[in-house]
């Protein structure tokens, strides 16, 4: 099979027909029809490419164009218009299935922004407060987490372990859940640092936020996000998967490069733990998510402003992290971003709100560096669009 590169020409109402340039025997018609049956029509604008920039983007990912390998889905958005949308490589090596705009990828840590939005929705509904101690909702942790607040979890200042892997020896089940995380934490000694004193990036903390969402709302984490975020935005192919062997139609499979090819790197016994990970989504659904963050469709502008504002430790040290987003500057202008890495998935979203530019990368190969490619694309587009 020759190169696999799919360039998408989108009509005003989506999903619509896709024109692609591809060679080989990938079952594109079958995959395409299956995806159309899954997803209702979304309102996605047509692609309006700038030829020189699209050629540059194609060149960045040419290594995946000329080989039958896992690859990457790429979208660039500018002022609501999609300037580039392309799939490079395969979503599924076994079935030689290419990457489409509707191919769901595991988002890994991009999940955190949805977890944070769940907390923001509950706060706006006056069902919790950011300064509430988390023991109001998880009293099981009273021994070690008495002073920890919800805000500490959002900003990674709770003093919790960085990863769920660090608790593996304390889990009582082979496939632990969020409930098992609570029990494991109670088997540990004290926190790594007092709450609020130090920034410690923590997947465990965002897992606790998912548990709080469940206990406050009375719904599962998956159902709450579905009812309050995904469905209202029309994100029809976005789901939370709490299964160690996900059954999601036409999704991208995760791979790890090895000598002579690739091996599956797609699921783990920790995949039943959600909050820091667990969401699968697509380029086009993330377009809807990105655009909603310019509006008050989910929460107020004041709440969004707080989510995209840096914080500080109790000792005054700056924390370049909001509610599920890293925060930085580009040529003096703010931008918010996050990357994800779990198993064979590498993901990235960066938003430049003053310029209204967004870059999204979803990859199913463990050797992909989304931060590097995302910055290269943003730099090229921002310079061209001045």
What is the pTM (predicted TM-score) of this model?
Answer: 0.89
Q: Examine the domain organization and report whether 95 and 156 are in the same domain.
A: no
Taking only the tens place, the pLDDT of each residue in 327-364 is: 999 888 899 999 999 999 999 999 999 999 999 999 99
Note whether residue 228 is domain-resident.
no
Note whether residue 64 is domain-resident.
yes
Short-list 27, 61, 54, CA closest to 363: 61
Taking only the tens place, the pLDDT of each residue in 97-124 is: 999 888 999 999 999 999 999 999 999 9
Q: What CA–CA distance (Å, rounded) separates 381 from 238?
A: 28
Note whether residue 238 is domain-resident.
no
| Percent of residues, the chain, with pLDDT higher than 90 | 69
Q: What is the pLDDT of residue 164?
A: 87
The secondary structure element, H or E, covering residue 207 is helix 203-217
Q: Examine the domain organization and report whether 263 and 185 are in the same domain.
A: no
Q: Which of 206, 221, 236 is the last residue of a domain?
A: 221
pLDDT-derived band of residue 170, with 50, 70 and 90 as boundaries? Answer: confident
pLDDT-derived band of residue 31, with 50, 70 and 90 as boundaries? Answer: very low
Neighbouring C-alpha atoms within 13 Å toward the C-beta of 243: 7
- For the cut 50, the answer to whether the pLDDT of residue 368 exceeds it is yes
Note whether residue 154 is domain-resident.
yes
Note whether residue 199 is domain-resident.
yes
- For the cut 90, the answer to whether the pLDDT of residue 188 exceeds it is no
Report the number of distinct structural domains present in the chain.
2
CATH code for position 67: 3.40.710.10
Q: What CA–CA distance (Å, rounded) separates 274 from 130?
A: 20
Task: Please tell me which residue in 20, 103, 109, 276 is annotated as part of the active site.
Answer: 109
Q: What CA–CA distance (Å, rounded) separates 14 from 45?
A: 8
Taking only the tens place, the pLDDT of each residue in 61-104 is: 998 876 689 999 999 999 999 999 999 999 999 999 999 888 99
| Percent of residues, the chain, with pLDDT higher than 70 | 88
The secondary structure element, H or E, covering residue 206 is helix 203-217
Average pLDDT, the chain: 87
Q: What is the pLDDT of residue 198?
A: 94
The residue segments making up the domain with residue 277 are: 5-108+244-384
Note whether residue 72 is domain-resident.
yes
Short-list 337, 371, 335, 375, CA closest to 354: 335
Note whether residue 20 is domain-resident.
yes
Short-list 141, 364, 373, CA closest to 264: 364
Region 360-370: what's the mean pLDDT?
97
Q: What is the pLDDT of residue 6?
A: 42
Q: Examine the domain organization and report whether 103 and 251 are in the same domain.
A: yes
Q: Examine the domain organization and report whether 273 and 294 are in the same domain.
A: yes
Q: Examine the domain organization and report whether 316 and 216 are in the same domain.
A: no
Q: Examine the domain organization and report whether 118 and 77 are in the same domain.
A: no
Cβ proximity of 365 and 345 under 8 Å: no
Question: Catalytic site residue 220?
Answer: no
């Amino acid at each position: 099979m020759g190169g696999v590169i799919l360039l998408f020409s989108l009509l005003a109402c989506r999903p619509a027909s896709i024109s692609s340039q591809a060679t080989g025997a990938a079952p594109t018609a079958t995959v395409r029809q299956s995806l159309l049956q899954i997803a209702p029509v979304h309102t996605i604008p047509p692609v309006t490419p700038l030829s020189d920039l699209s050629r540059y983007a194609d060149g960045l990912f040419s290594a995946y164009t000329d080989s039958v390998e896992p690859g990457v889905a790429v979208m660039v958005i500018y002022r609501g218009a999609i300037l580039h949308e392309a799939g490079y490589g395969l979503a599924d090596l076994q079935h030689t299935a290419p990457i489409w705009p509707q191919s769901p990828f595991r988002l890994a840590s991009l999940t955190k922004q949805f977890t944070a939005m769940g907390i923001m929705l509950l706060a706006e509904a006056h069902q919790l407060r950011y300064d509430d101690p988390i023991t109001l909702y998880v009293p099981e942790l009273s021994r070690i987490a008495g002073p920890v607040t919800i805000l500490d979890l959002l900003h990674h200042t709770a003093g919790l372990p960085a990863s769920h892997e660090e608790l593996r020896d304390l889990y009582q089940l082979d496939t632990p859940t969020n409930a098992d995380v609570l029990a494991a934490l109670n088997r540990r000694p004290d926190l790594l640092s007092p709450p609020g004193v130090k920034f410690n990036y923590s997947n465990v903390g965002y897992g606790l936020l998912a548990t709080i969402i469940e206990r406050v709302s009375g719904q599962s984490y998956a159902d709450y996000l579905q009812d309050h975020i995904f469905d209202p935005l029309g994100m029809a192919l976005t789901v939370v998967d709490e299964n160690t062997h996900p059954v999601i139609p036409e999704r991208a499979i995760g791979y790890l490069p090895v000598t002579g090819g690739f091996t599956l790197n797609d699921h783990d016994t920790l995949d039943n733990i959600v909050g820091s990970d667990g969401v699968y989504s697509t380029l086009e659904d993330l377009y809807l998510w990105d655009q909603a963050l310019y509006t008050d469709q989910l929460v107020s502008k004041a709440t969004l402003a707080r989510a995209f504002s840096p914080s500080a430790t109790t000792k005054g040290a700056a924390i370049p992290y909001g509610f599920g987003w890293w925060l930085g500057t580009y040529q003096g202008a703010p931008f918010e971003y996050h990357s994800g890495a779990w198993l064979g998935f590498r993901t990235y979203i960066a938003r430049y709100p003053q310029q209204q530019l967004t870059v999204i990368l979803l990859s199913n190969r463990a050797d992909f560096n989304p931060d590097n490619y995302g910055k290269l694309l943003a730099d090229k587009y921002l310079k061209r669009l001045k």
